[in-house]
Structure 1
Amino acid sequence: MKQIAVIGAGTMGNGIAHTFAQSGFTVKLIDISEAAIERGMTTIAKNLDRMVAKGSITEDDKINTISNIITYTDTKDGVVGCDLVIEAATENVDLKLKIFKQLSDICDHNVILATNTSSISITQIAAQVVHPERVIGMHFMNPVPIMKLVEIIRGYNTSNEVTKIIMSLSEKLGKTPTEVNDYPGFVANRILMPMINEAIETLYNGVAGVAEIDTVMKLGMAHPMGPLQLADFIGLDVCLSILNVMYDGFKNPKYAPCPLLINMVMAGKLGVKSGEGFYDYAEVKKAEKVSKQFMKS
């Protein structure tokens, strides 16, 4: 594989593009919004700057990585000549089905189509595609350039050949691919999201405060980040979406999202990306805004 297309320039999409480009692949980063592409490329540049500062890569490595990324706002133009297309759009079933229907129409039938979904059925997505055996899940972890795991999800029709290719490709990126089967939440989120939801229930029931809950899990269970802080980092809207997928898939009340989570999402308190979730990130957002204004001046 030489050319990779990534659809979506948000947190996961730009991280996936960064990772492939740093490994020497030509990456076509696609988003319908020029502003989203600009934000994505800015994030990639900042992350590369941090790596240079830490001495993990050189300035030349940074320049080469950025030069390996070409941006597009038209999907049809962006996927031309690509061997693999990775969809990394918002975790929304209807949106993903629409994207894969479009990819089925515009991509050659030998192009492998992957989705970075963290919970949605690969089999359902593949049903939109001619030759569904070429559809597979590549669930990267955030932040993509750092986290080693890639959850490789086989749909009902995913072929052994495609699975083998994607497992090998993930290893070439320096990742550790782990093959799982197609059930709601797969492995990572089937275990993680109920824990986060239970932490929110614990807060909702007044058992302890935010900092106290996270402290217990960090110091008592050796978690690098408490579940409420992690939820903020993931995005509370994303957590809610994943829980809803699992609840709908299993019809089991243990996956029902906590009312507090639902209310926070409706109120626009989504975590780090909105400036407030279980923690207040307003000062961080303010500092970033001042920094951007200073750079422009």
Structure 2
Amino acid sequence: MKKIAVIGAGTMGNGIAHTFAQSGFKVSLIDVNEAALEKGMNTIAKNLDRMIAKEKISEADKSNTLANISTYTNLEDAVKTIDLVVEAATENLELKLKIFKQLDQACPEAAILASNTSSISITQIAAVTSRPEQVIGMHFMNPVPIMKLVEIIRGYNTSDTVTKTIMELSETLGKDPVEVNDYPGFVANRILMPMLNESIETLYNGVAGVNEIDTVMKLGMAHPMGPLQLADFIGLDVCLSILNVMYNGFKNPKYAPCPLLVNMVQAGKLGVKSGEGFYDYSESRKAEKVSKQFLK
């Protein structure tokens, strides 16, 4: 495989494009919004600059990585000659099904179609294509250039050959792929999301405050980040979406989203992306922190 297409220039999409391009692949980064593409490329450039500052890569590596990425707003033009497409659009079933129908029509017959979905059924996605044996899940972790794990999700019809190809491809990216089967939440989120939801329930029930809950898990369980801070980082809307997928898939009340989480998402408190979640990430709060550091 030499030519990769990535759909979606958001946090996951630009991270996936960055990772493939840095490993020498030619990448077509696709988004319907030109501004989103520009923002995505700026993010990649900034992340490469951080790597240069840490002496992990050179200026030449940065230039080569950026040169390996071309941006497109037209999906058909971007995927005409690709070997693999990785869809990293919003976690919305209807949108993903629409995209995969388009990909099935526009991509070469031999192309593998992958989704970065964190919870939606690969089997259901594959069913809207004429090539279900060539549809697979590649669930990267955030931040993509740093995190080693890739969950490789086999749909009901995914072939052994395609699975082996994607496992080996992931290793060439410097990742550690783990093969899992296609059930709601897969492995990572089937285990993680109930823990985050229970942390929110603990706050909702008044057992302890935000800092106290996160401190217990960081100091007592050696977690690098508290569960409420992690939920903010993932995006509370994304957490809610994944929990709903698992609740609807298993019909088990243990996956039912906490009412506090539902209310926060409805109120637009989505975490880091909106500037406020369980913590305050607003510009005024950042300024306050800088002032306190200066006064020290």
Scaled by the length of structure 2, what TM-score is found? 0.96
Deviations 1:25-71 (A, max 9, x none): 00000000001101100110110000000001111111110010000
Which residue does the alignment assign to 1:262?
Answer: 262
Secondary structure, counterpart of 1:153 in structure 2: strand
* Amino acid in structure 2 at the alignment position of 1:56: K
Q: How does 1:193-232 map to 2 (within 5 A)?
A: 193-232=193-232
Q: How does 1:39-50 map to 2 (within 5 A)?
A: 39-50=39-50
Deviations 1:269-297 (A, max 9, x none): 0000000000000037877xxxxxxxxxx
Is 2:15 aligned against 1:15? yes
* Amino acid in structure 2 at the alignment position of 1:22: Q
* Amino acid in structure 1 at the alignment position of 2:85: V
1:171 touches 1:177 (CA, 8 Å); kept in 2?
Answer: yes
* Amino acid in structure 2 at the alignment position of 1:244: N
Secondary structure, counterpart of 2:139 in structure 1: strand
Aligned length: 287
Which residue does the alignment assign to 2:290?
Answer: none
Q: How does 1:144-223 map to 2 (within 5 A)?
A: 144-223=144-223
Give the superposition deviation at 1:106.
Answer: 1.1
* Amino acid in structure 2 at the alignment position of 1:280: D
What are structure 2's unaligned runs of at least 5 residues? 288-296
Secondary structure, counterpart of 1:86 in structure 2: strand
* Amino acid in structure 1 at the alignment position of 2:195: M
* Amino acid in structure 2 at the alignment position of 1:72: Y
Distance 1:210 1:62 in 2: 39
1:109 touches 1:130 (CA, 8 Å); kept in 2?
Answer: no
Distance 1:252 1:156, change over 3 A: same
Which residue does the alignment assign to 1:113?
Answer: 113
Deviations 1:194-249 (A, max 9, x none): 00000000000000000000000000000000000000000000000000000000
Distance 1:160 1:284, change over 3 A: farther
1:12 touches 1:88 (CA, 8 Å); kept in 2?
Answer: yes
Which residue does the alignment assign to 1:93?
Answer: 93
Give the superposition deviation at 1:80.
Answer: 1.5
Which residue does the alignment assign to 2:142?
Answer: 142
Distance 1:134 1:116 in 2: 15
Distance 1:101 1:7 in 2: 14
Distance 2:71 2:2 in 1: 16
Secondary structure, counterpart of 1:170 in structure 2: helix
Give the superposition deviation at 1:16.
Answer: 0.1
2:138 touches 2:151 (CA, 8 Å); kept in 1?
Answer: yes
Distance 1:43 1:156, change over 3 A: same
Secondary structure, counterpart of 1:52 in structure 2: helix
Distance 1:284 1:2, change over 3 A: farther
User: Cα RMSD over matched residues?
Assistant: 1.0
Distance 1:247 1:188 in 2: 16
Structure 1 segments of 4+ aligned residues over 4 angstroms from their partners: 284-287
Give the superposition deviation at 1:252.
Answer: 0.1
* Amino acid in structure 2 at the alignment position of 1:221: M
Distance 2:78 2:34 in 1: 14
Which residue does the alignment assign to 1:70?
Answer: 70
Secondary structure, counterpart of 1:278 in structure 2: coil
Secondary structure, counterpart of 1:229 in structure 2: helix
Give the superposition deviation at 1:107.
Answer: 1.2
1:139 touches 1:152 (CA, 8 Å); kept in 2?
Answer: yes
Distance 1:217 1:284, change over 3 A: farther
Distance 1:207 1:50 in 2: 40
Distance 2:211 2:134 in 1: 45
Scaled by the length of structure 1, what TM-score is found? 0.95
What are structure 1's unaligned runs of at least 5 residues? 288-297
1:275 touches 1:285 (CA, 8 Å); kept in 2?
Answer: no
